[in-house]
């Protein structure tokens, strides 16, 4: 993938596995992300009101299961840069994890709402990456199919568009694996997965096959 601008920044950190004696399937990942260099996915080229969004989350899950709007197995250590009007949650299926507000589903964003979605490819839990908009099943407005933009962005009330992270994939592992102190059990089954957004007045919903 190619840089759109040298100002883009990204950082991921993933870790933490339970020892086989406790529960070999359940893992906890710590994901530390910073998003900047946003692009207007409606095609109107409206400058992003918020230039940088960052967060640090821990997610405990079983990679063999699916999760939908799970809030019990998520810890948000920090989040800043934009407004989200609902509780945070995550969805997960088959190596793809989305973090966001649960009012529109954790894997969806709609224009004219205060929301965020950040999609992670955690197929290799030790080397998570953002999910490019060229990934089959993801839509990012006019940037759908582009490897220049990643499926991580936000929407704001009062704006009929959304801003997505226009950067190449980047990841780094910062801590060695360790056992989480209190692993959470697996929760609800995932009904559907993907990312959606609105450009202008129309909604676009993404569903991964």
Would you say residue 131 lies in a domain? Answer: yes
Query: For the chain, which ranges sit under pLDDT 50?
Result: 1-23, 172-209
Would you say residue 5 lies in a domain? Answer: no
CB 158 within 8 A of CB 46: no
Burial class of residue 166 in the structure, from the number of CB atoms within 10 Å of its CB (0-12 exposed, 13-18 middle, 19+ buried): buried
pLDDT, position 169? 55
Would you say residue 209 lies in a domain? Answer: no
User: What residue numbers bound the domain in which 181 lies?
Assistant: 20-204
Would you say residue 9 lies in a domain? Answer: no
Q: How many domains does the chain have?
A: 1
Instruction: Name the pairing type of β-strands 88-93 and 115-121.
Output: unpaired
165 Cβ contact list (under 8 Å, min separation 6): 8, 10, 35, 36, 37, 38, 130, 149, 150, 151, 152, 153
Would you say residue 11 lies in a domain? Answer: no
pLDDT, position 125? 87
CB 133 within 8 A of CB 147: yes
pTM assigned to the model = 0.74
Would you say residue 14 lies in a domain? Answer: no
In whole angstroms, give the CA distance from residue 206 to residue 56. 25
CB 207 within 8 A of CB 96: no
Would you say residue 193 lies in a domain? Answer: yes
In whole angstroms, give the CA distance from residue 30 to residue 13. 6
pLDDT, position 195? 34
Cα 183–Cα 185–Cα 187 angle in degrees, nearest 5: 135
Would you say residue 40 lies in a domain? Answer: yes
């Amino acid at each position: 993938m190619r840089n759109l601008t040298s100002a883009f920044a990204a950082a991921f950190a993933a870790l933490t596995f339970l020892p086989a004696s406790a529960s070999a399937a359940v893992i906890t990942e710590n994901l530390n992300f910073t998003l900047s260099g946003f692009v207007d996915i409606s095609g109107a080229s409206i400058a992003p009101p918020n230039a940088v969004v960052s967060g640090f989350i821990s997610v405990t899950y079983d990679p063999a299961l699916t999760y939908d709007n799970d809030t019990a197995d998520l810890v948000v250590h920090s989040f800043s840069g934009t407004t989200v009007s609902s509780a945070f949650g995550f969805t997960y299926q088959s190596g793809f994890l989305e973090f966001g507000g649960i009012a529109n589903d954790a894997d969806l964003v709609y224009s004219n709402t205060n929301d965020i979605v950040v999609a992670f490819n955690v197929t290799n839990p030790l080397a998570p990456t953002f999910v490019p908009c060229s990934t089959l099943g993801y839509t990012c407005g006019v940037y759908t199919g582009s490897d220049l933009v990643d499926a991580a962005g936000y929407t704001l009330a009062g704006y009929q568009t959304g801003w997505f992270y226009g950067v190449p994939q980047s990841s780094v592992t910062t801590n060695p694996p360790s056992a989480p102190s209190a692993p959470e059990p697996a929760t609800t089954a995932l009904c559907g997965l993907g990312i959606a957004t609105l450009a202008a007045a129309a909604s676009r919903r993404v569903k991964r096959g």
